[in-house]
Amino acid sequence: MSATNLRLHNYFRSSASFRVRIALALKGIAYEYVPVHLVKNGGEQLAAAHHTKNPMEQVPALELVLDGKPRVIAQSVAIIELLEELYPEPPLYPKDSYLRTRTRELVEIINSGIQPHQNLAPMKRMDQLAQGAGRLHAKHYNEVGLAAYEERVKETAGRFSIGDQVTAADLFLVPQLVAARRFEVDLSKVPTIVAIDERCRALPAFQAAAPDRQPDFEP
Ligand SMILES: N[C@@H](CCC(=O)N[C@@H](CS)C(=O)NCC(=O)O)C(=O)O
């Protein structure tokens, strides 16, 4: 399988986009950055043109020519797994079956256990039911999910979530902590996570992928 003409439809503040940007940076893959503003113009993710790229009306979506055919893939887990197949070095999933499964478990704690609760649409819906509820809901699931991640990661942590090599789990953790800080989650309860996050953020690929380094960044 081979790929050319990669275009990432994404948003600087989106944690799911940030995950994919880290994978692209770690693997040294060139791509075109296509901004999709989630707030301006009524939310560009809701436009018909974007809907065809991601029917969930979310970012990220990766457009590429795959084995000569134009394709668009959504969902950060699927995109990162495709990048892993196309560009195996450096690997983001351990060779050992148990550690690979643990990596996926940590990925899912964030991908399905935390992040969906802090999305714009559910937060807006919660706020319609009770003013301010959206933020409290998002904060709660950040606390629950990060506590679970902390408990699990203690078993495998080295410099990073799984030993001393960066894995997909770290690509999910670092963007999640940006959100957790925004929701003022007390991170003193998750010291292993905080130490891993610091080590990841010292790496050039994580820095290059950070929200404030993107062309559509707004303070
Ligand atoms: N499971 C999806 C989640 C994507 C997602 O939730 N994207 C958010 C930004 S991080 C989004 O586009 N939200 C738009 C909205 O809620 O309207 C993935 O991993 O790609």
The 3-class secondary structure across 113-150, one letter per residue, is CCHHHHCHHHHHHHHHHCCCHHHHHHHHHHHHHHHHHH
Question: What is the fold, at CATH topology level, of the domain defined by 3-90?
Answer: Glutaredoxin (3.40.30)
| Spatial distance between the Cα atoms of 138 and 55, rounded to a whole number of angstroms | 23
* Burial profile 105-117: b = 16 or more Cβ within 10 angstroms, e = fewer: ebbebbbebbbeb
Mutate to test the pocket of ligand 1, among 119, 182, 216 (most ligand atoms within 8 A of CB): 119
Query: How many A from CA of 96 to the centre of ligand 1?
Result: 30
| Spatial distance between the Cα atoms of 106 and 54, rounded to a whole number of angstroms | 25
Q: Where are the domains of the chain?
A: 3-90, 97-205
Residue nearest to atom 14 of ligand 1 (CA): 58
Mutate to test the pocket of ligand 1, among 58, 75, 79, 141 (most ligand atoms within 8 A of CB): 58
Query: How many A from CA of 3 to the centre of ligand 1?
Result: 24
User: For the whole model, what pTM was predicted?
Assistant: 0.97
Query: How many A from CA of 114 to the centre of ligand 1?
Result: 12
| Spatial distance between the Cα atoms of 34 and 166, rounded to a whole number of angstroms | 26
Predicted pLDDT at 6:
98
Residue 120, ligand 1, Cβ within 6 A: yes
Residue 68: pLDDT band with limits 50, 70, 90: very high
**Stretch among 121-125, 193-197, 205-209 having the lowest mean pLDDT:** 121-125
Residue 194, ligand 1, Cβ within 6 A: no
Please give the order of strands across the beta sheet that includes 32-35: 32-35, 3-10, 61-66, 69-74
Question: What is residue 62's three-state secondary structure?
Answer: strand
Mutate to test the pocket of ligand 1, among 22, 108, 115, 124 (most ligand atoms within 8 A of CB): 115
Residue % of the chain over a pLDDT of 90: 99
Predicted pLDDT at 48:
97
- CATH (one of 1.20.1260.10, 1.20.1050.10, 3.40.50.620, 3.10.129.10) for 97-205: 1.20.1050.10
Q: pLDDT per residue over 11-59, tens digit each?
A: 999 999 999 999 999 999 999 999 999 999 999 999 999 999 999 999 9
Q: pLDDT per residue over 86-118, tens digit each?
A: 999 999 999 999 999 999 999 999 999 999 999
Residue 54, ligand 1, Cβ within 6 A: no
Name the DSSP class of 84: H
> Which two tokens mark 66?
């795959």
* Residues in a beta bridge with 147: none
| Topology agreement, domain 3-90 and domain 97-205 | no
The answer to whether residues 11 and 59 touch, using CB atoms and an 8 Å cutoff, is yes
